[in-house]
Structure 1
Amino acid sequence: MKTLIKNIEFSKVINLKNLISYQEAQVISRTIAQTPTVSISLFSLDKGEGISTHVTPGDAMVQVLDGEAEITIDNNIFNVKAGETIIMPSNVPHGLEARVRFQMLLTVIKG
């Protein structure tokens, strides 16, 4: 049987924040699922690190697990923190910078 979810234990209660560590001056990612239409990844960013402005072919949902980041969507700036979620629409430029150490679960859905 082929599983679609990887890099995570099945049938076990977990805390997503514990699945990815912080590394000084780095952006770390861990893919949880990757199909032609869905991508789910965990990210941790050290303070001051970022993901440069880019465009994706799918809608992207950021669920903030820890810390705080500044997310720019089409020249609009949003400050998001642990417990908050924001949607970045497809084909619209977006990027982010960690204000403090920052973890997120990123889900991208392509049509």
Structure 2
Amino acid sequence: MPTNRSYSKANKARAVLDVPYINIMNLTLAPGDEVPSHTTPVDVLLHVIAGEGSITIGPETARVATGDIVVSPAHIPHTLEANAGSDFSVLVMKIPNPKKGAS
């Protein structure tokens, strides 16, 4: 059984836009990497921009690929995992920006 590796925020996530009403990050996971289960205080829109992987929201897991969009509601645990074959890039959009608050 393959062992998943947790992602390192320092070298895998890049800020795209960080304003009061939205925070957008470009997250890239290497094959087999995962973002461990966590919650956010706001809704999160996940847009797959490259590769394939799985996104788990609460008890449900969906296989996703380039072009897919998934919404994770606030306060619901979610996890992202890259397939073994390629990098998995996702635009992660938090609405509103939980760090700045909506104006």
Does residue 105 in structure 1 map to residue 95 in structure 2?
no
Q: How many pairs were matched up?
A: 87
Look at both structures and tell me which one has the larger radius of gyration over its CA atoms.
1
Report how far residue 36 of structure 1 moved.
3.8
Provide the C-alpha distance between the structure 1 equivalents of 2:37 and 2:67, rounded to a whole number of angstroms.
23
Whether contact under 8 Å (2:13, 2:28) holds in the other structure is yes
Provide the C-alpha distance between the structure 1 equivalents of 2:39 and 2:70, rounded to a whole number of angstroms.
16
Does residue 82 in structure 1 map to residue 91 in structure 2?
no
Q: What does residue 95 of structure 1 align with?
A: 79
TM-score by length of 2: 0.77
Higher strand share: 2
Provide runs of 4+ in structure 1 moved above 4 Å: none
3-state SS, counterpart of residue 15 of structure 2: strand
Report how far residue 43 of structure 1 moved.
1.0
Provide the C-alpha distance between the structure 1 equivalents of 2:18 and 2:74, rounded to a whole number of angstroms.
17
In the alignment, structure 1 segments of 5+ residues that lack a partner are: 1-24
Greater relative CO (CA pairs within 8 A, separation 6+): 2
Q: CA RMSD in A?
A: 1.7
